[in-house]
Amino acid sequence: MSKHQPVNLSLADGCVKHYHEVFKGAIDPKIVEAFTADVVFDKAQLIAWLNTITTDSVKISLGIYTPEFVAQYPTAKPKRLTTFIYPYNTPAAGIKAQGAGDPPADEDPFNLGNLNP
């Protein structure tokens, strides 16, 4: 089976449901406070942005909005989990992928979708 393809809806929904159960069942109140079920992006805006990037792929990274981010982008919900869509160049065979937290490319990521709930 190959990667980068559509997957079964009910199996995907099961994974999402499991994430909700694990995340909402956390003991640490900071984890419960950060809970985000979905991030919704406007299709036209996302496609327009995708058409501007110069990389061969995108990388979706999870993050929690920091006070500094919210100060710059006031529509962001403080302390909430979100997704950042980074332009990303797939490493050539035999080259180690970039580490977690490193910007995948020198282009700004896409963010500020609607967080649910």
Per-residue pLDDT of the chain (117 residues; tens, 9 = 90+): 566 777 778 887 888 888 888 888 888 888 888 889 999 999 999 999 999 999 888 989 899 999 999 999 999 999 999 999 999 888 765 555 555 544 456 788 999 999 998
Residues 9, 13, 14: CA angle, nearest 5 degrees: 120
Counting the structural domains of the chain, the total is 2
Residue 96: predicted pLDDT:
54
Same domain, 5 and 48: no
Domain that holds residue 7: 1-33
pLDDT of residue 45: 94
The answer to whether residues 43 and 98 belong to one domain is yes
In whole angstroms, how far apart are CA 85 and each of 14, 17, 111?
Answer: 23, 22, 7
Report whether 39 contacts 115 (CB < 8 A): yes
What secondary structure letter does DSSP report for 105? S
| 14, 52: one domain | no
Q: Please measure the distance between the N-terminal and C-terminal CA atoms of the chain and give it in whole angstroms.
A: 34
- Do 41 and 27 lie in one domain? The reply is no
Q: Identify whether the C-beta of residue 41 lies closer than 8 Å to the C-beta of residue 115.
A: no
What pLDDT score was predicted for residue 105? 65
87 bridge partner residues: 58
User: Are residue 25 and residue 72 in the same domain, yes or no?
Assistant: no
Do residues 47 and 101 share a domain? yes
